[in-house]
Copies of this chain bind each other. A is one copy, B any other.
Amino acid sequence: MEPIRIMIPEVHEAIEKRDFRALKEALQEFHPQDIVDLLRTMEPADRLILFRLLAKDRAAEVFSFLELDEQKDLLSRFTEQNLKEIIVEMSPDDRTDLLDELPAGVVKRLLVLLDPAERAVANELLNYPESSAGRLMTPEFVDLNADMTVDEAIQRIRQTGPDKETIYYAYVTDATRTLKGMVSLRTLLLAKPGTRIEEIMKEEPIRVRTADDQESVAHVIRKYDLLAVPVVDREERLVGIVTVDDVVDVIADEATEDIQKMGAIEAAEEGYFQTGFFSLARRRILWLMILLVTATLSGSILEHYTAALQAAVILVFFIPMLMNTGGSTGTQSATLIIRGLATGEIDVRQVGRVVARESLMGVLLGSAMGLLGFLRAILVPGSDPNVWFTVGLTLILTVTAANMTGALLPIAAKLLRADPAIMAGPVIATIMDATTLLIYFEIARRLLGIG
């Protein structure tokens, strides 16, 4: 799968010996991604040497496979001429990604290198909101007329194909650039040569809008098993396409982002090793501070009941178990709802169905945990039936409450246009700790006649 690994020592040797001809030939064999892996094993200065040995279009392709911070590092070493070659050859969507990350001054300098038409495209793409279909799309699609024949269409694909992001889906537009239909290269190739496009095209093809969030673009491509989806503006004019390879990254990245938020980390765009140490520390420390301060609320409740605790020391034993079970139950239901909302499987309008299901679930889990806690309490030396019932009853109530809290907070976040993923484990656990202690001591006070 990675035959290039074997080559690494040879490549390093060739660079040392300045044997560029052999190197240039060897590089032609490999997939751009493999060349990226190779570049990563090299010193920055050598990277530039190797990079300049690549053919122009290949260099742009390799460049697109680099992470953004690697692209920035390499850019800083380029001459104006190198820069121009790479930027011009990059596909518009990859170029937008890069320009988006660079300081404004550098962006200006790069835009100057493009010809006016390409500069207009770059500027247009940059004007769409971040994470929107407009940013993700490329304007390099194949467009056809409805009255072309299959032969003419294939001819057109042959001519314009080399510059297009995909030639496997072609889009049919009219004189006003309005999206009229879609035809796959498969359909074209299997149809009779003289057939007109309008006879075989799919009318009203599935589309997204420039302002649509990239997550919903991913949903559409995933739902309909598409290789690309057309992007239209408010007037239904076709302005670009989003291809499945970009969507694969969106799906994986959005999952990473959600997972990080659920773990009480402000989401980072880069991977674990790519993210700077202090940047990562910052993303973690804010949440830890908020949670630490919030948790002192539970401390106050615990302190408020110290008289009760001192009167019945045995109550202390059950505190971690009760807090932990409440937190875990809330984490579970929050996890299910957050993921359901993210994959589009749960809609906020289904809140009634969620409430019905989770209140039943809470009672079921609460009863089970209550029974288990009750039995566990019996085993504790010095406990009595009042303690057993206090523990059992507390578990029934807290587990039921935690289950509902975990289910409803992510939905509430979504309704308030916040990210549901922040309403996960650590936040729910902190909220449930306080609730659990209140329930516990109020029951204990009544059953044990203390405090």
Interface residue SS majority, chain A: helix
Chain B residues whose CB sits within 8 angstroms of the CB of A154 once the complex forms: 189
Q: Nearest Cβ in chain B — how far from A381, in angstroms? A: 10
- Docked pose: A224 CA to B313 CA in angstroms: 62
Please pick, from B1, B249, B272, B323, the residue contacting A222 in the complex, using a CB distance under 8 A: B249
- Docked pose: A240 CA to B338 CA in angstroms: 36
Please pick, from B252, B272, B296, B317, the residue contacting A300 in the complex, using a CB distance under 8 A: B317
Q: Nearest Cβ in chain B — how far from A2, in angstroms? A: 9
How would residues 203 to 216 of chain A score, 1 for a CB under 8 Å from any chain B CB and 0 otherwise? 11011100000000
Known: A292-B324, A331-B426. A299 touches B272 (CB 8 A): no
Please pick, from B223, B273, B361, the residue contacting A353 in the complex, using a CB distance under 8 A: B273
Please pick, from B1, B292, B318, the residue contacting A369 in the complex, using a CB distance under 8 A: B292
Total interface residues in chain A, CB < 8 Å: 116
Taking a contact as CB atoms under 8 Å apart, the answer to whether B325 and A299 are in contact is no
Q: Nearest Cβ in chain B — how far from A303, in angstroms? A: 4
Number of copies: 2
Residue A132 at the chain B interface, CB threshold 8 Å = no
Residue A437 at the chain B interface, CB threshold 8 Å = yes
- Docked pose: A357 CA to B329 CA in angstroms: 32
Chain B residues whose CB sits within 8 angstroms of the CB of A273 once the complex forms: 340, 345-346, 350, 353
Taking a contact as CB atoms under 8 Å apart, the answer to whether B277 and A335 are in contact is no
Residue A260 at the chain B interface, CB threshold 8 Å = yes
Q: Nearest Cβ in chain B — how far from A149, in angstroms? A: 16
Which of A8-16, A47-55, A161-169, A412-420 participates in binding chain B? A161-169
Residues of A at under 8 Å CB distance from B? 1, 3, 29, 31, 33, 154, 157-158, 161-162, 167-168, 185-186, 189-190, 203-204, 206-208, 220-227, 244-245, 247-249, 251-252, 255-256, 258-260, 262-265, 271-273, 277, 280-281, 284-285, 287-289, 291-293, 295-296, 298-300, 302-303, 306, 309-310, 313-314, 316-321, 323-325, 327-329, 331-332, 334-340, 343, 345-346, 350, 353, 357, 360-361, 364-365, 368-369, 372-373, 376, 399, 424-426, 429-430, 433-434, 437
User: Would you list the 3 A-B pairs with minimal beta carbon distance, nearest first?
Assistant: A263-B335, A298-B320, A255-B255
